[in-house]
Amino acid sequence: MNKTTKLVYLRFVLISCLFLTACNPSINLDQLKNLGSQKPEDTISQGNINSEDILKADRLVALVYQNKLYLADPDYPKPYPIYEFKHQEQPVRQKLDTFEISPDKQWVVWYTPGKGVLALDTSTKKVQVVNQPSDFLNTNPYFEFDQGNNLYFITNNGNTLVKTNLTSGERSSVAIPYPYGNVFKVSPDQQHILFISGYGQTEGEPQFMFTDNSGNFLVQFTTKTNLADRHQVIWTPDSRGVAMINGQNLEYYSVNDPNSAQVLFSVGEGDRILNINRVGNDIYLFTSQGYWHVYDYAQGKEVARTPIAIAKELNSPVFYPWKEKQLLIEETLPEGEAQFNRLWVSDLKGNKKMVMDKYHEVIVKTQLQDLD
């Protein structure tokens, strides 16, 4: 190859490299090689993001990685590190449903045995103790927000339902009669509360109780739901009643007449409903045959169905209904003597995008050491 030919060849290579780089500006080989070691906020490069940007999201998830709390918007998958945990603030359990986020996204709430019920103000980045830890909360750390951003949780050994406004500090309580006090559900219009029994139950007929938001006008009823499924219950979007599972049936119990159950939807013979969730008007039902059924409450019919096989390439996937016709999928992956989670968002056809590459890293294997 003579000198002129070499120059032409080098010029061609240079132009080709520039062309490929211009057409693929996001390609970074070092980034791909070191994907597992990167910080979650750097894994997906979509420009700078701050707390104001992330809080504009329609809905958020909260995740933990290396002693930091991240907020992530699955529609814009670039997690934001909003808080670094202090001593005893990090929760023991760190799954996708560990944290509750208020509808206005001002508050993130969780429980830790060392500190109690904690609330992070996303605007000030400060944490306040909402309630001190207790043996009861260690076993039953259940809380939820209503649509007015009030936080509810049960304390006093299951005898008291606490309602608190985290912004104003206003706090009220409702006495809970035995045998209720493990789990509750607040209606979307905030006018009624469903209490679910936890003690002294028969196998076939767990007890439930409707009250108003002051704990008055008690209406108790029993169902044919299995005792193990008694927590699989949701309020209907119109707040007129609740829906729960009974074998292959989705059953409706109205506030006005809870003793007359109505079947809303049934899966096929030999199938059984295992899990129930509501997103807007859609009720998501997971069945023993490995399908998610989507029942539109307003239309009164099934509108979609998808198999869990849409995530067959993922490792130990766990599904969480998210938005209209969307699922969050939490994957568990091994890494030496540890394991970590990875989060995806998917439509019902299985089209996925990664939300957070790595979080909740824990040691799962330990080695015995010889003592001198």
What dihedral do alpha carbons 244, 250, 255, 258 form, nearest 10°?
-90
Strand partners, 160: 155, 175
Q: How far apart are CA 78 and CA 175, in angstroms?
A: 43
The amino acid sitting at 272 is: R
pLDDT averaged per 10 residues in sequence order, the chain, 372 residues: 45 39 35 40 56 91 96 90 97 91 97 98 97 94 94 94 96 90 92 85 77 92 84 96 96 96 95 96 98 97 98 97 95 95 97 96 69 52
3-state DSSP call for residue 65?
strand
Is the bond into 179 cis (omega within 30 degrees of 0)? yes
**What confidence score (pLDDT) does residue 10 get?**
40
For residue 68, the 8-state DSSP code is E
**What confidence score (pLDDT) does residue 197 get?**
86
**What confidence score (pLDDT) does residue 3 get?**
44
**What confidence score (pLDDT) does residue 73 get?**
95
**What confidence score (pLDDT) does residue 4 get?**
46
Q: How far apart are CA 262 and CA 250, in angstroms?
A: 9
